Amino acid sequence: MSNPRITWLGHSTVALDVDGVRVLTDPLLRRHNWPLRRRGGEKPDRERWSDPDVVLLSHLHSDHAQLASLRMVADAPILTAPENADWLHRRGLPSGHGIGDDWWPVGDTGLEVLLVRADHGHRPMPHRPNATNGHLVRSPGLVTWFAGDTSWYDEMTHLPDLAGRPIDLAVVPIGGWGSRLSGGHMDAAAAARACAAVGARQALAVHWGTLHVPFLSRLPREWMDAPGEEFGEALEQASPGCRRVDLVPGESAELS
């Protein structure tokens, strides 16, 4: 059996191929997501995200939940909080599944998904539900924590207990789509601290370097690249035994 493989498609969109199952997170699959623009303007390569077995949705902010993209993968179950699943149903996406406190099996693949806490309530939306969550994904070959959008919370240390095994991979957000980071997020230092808290063996930083609003294109692009450099340094300090999976959008890596 081949090693698990992860592909970062930009922002918080990740394709994880493990034990013959493809997991896709917070899909943004088009060139842009109005009013946000994708750096470089190229939409993700279809071969790298097509035919997922399960889609994980962390919340309904527009930089994570684009209806046009979700409809492109609607043949797969979309696992999210119950309030968010109800909203998807009202928008013609019956594949939305609200899961609660139990592990959700992905068919008979041996892969299971559990919703976990995410603290991201600083910008409530008036027109969409505001439930937020992360995901634990457990398969015979890998345990992955997809943090979603969240600030630090002390109970992160309990995630390995919830998984029943060590966390092999943490996928953590480190930035945003603006030059300043609002509340309800982790910066590079906090994300490195989170990786240490859960004892992650490997870490991929997402939610940076991909999206911007048009007027910010006039600023030097260092603000888009800085979080990645800062995360590498912070992870080495906070959790020197954790291997950084260092990708740019469109790149893949095998996981040990």
Over the range 173-182, which residues count as b (16 or more CB within 10 Å of their CB) and which as e? bbbbbeeebe
Q: How far is CA 205 from CA 35, 89, 170, 190, in A?
A: 24, 31, 8, 12
Question: 3-17, 190-204, 206-220: which has the minimum mean pLDDT?
Answer: 206-220
Domains and CATH numbers, the chain: 5-247 (3.60.15.10)
Whether residue 24 has pLDDT greater than 80: yes
Whether residue 183 has pLDDT greater than 90: no
CB 129 within 8 A of CB 77: no
Over residues 118-146, the pLDDT tens digits come to: 998 777 778 899 899 999 999 999 999 99
Query: What average pLDDT does this structure show over 36-59?
Result: 94
Q: What is the overall mean pLDDT for the chain?
A: 93
Query: What average pLDDT does this structure show over 23-32?
Result: 95
Measured in Å, how far apart are the chain's first and last C-alpha atoms?
A: 13
Q: Residue 82's pLDDT is what?
A: 97
Q: Residue 1's pLDDT is what?
A: 57
The model carries a pTM of 0.94
Q: pLDDT tier at 188 (50, 70, 90 boundaries)?
A: very high
Nearest to 247 by CA among 174, 198, 168: 174
Q: pLDDT tier at 219 (50, 70, 90 boundaries)?
A: low
Whether residue 3 has pLDDT greater than 70: yes
Q: Residue 216's pLDDT is what?
A: 56
Over residues 144-158, the pLDDT tens digits come to: 999 999 999 999 999
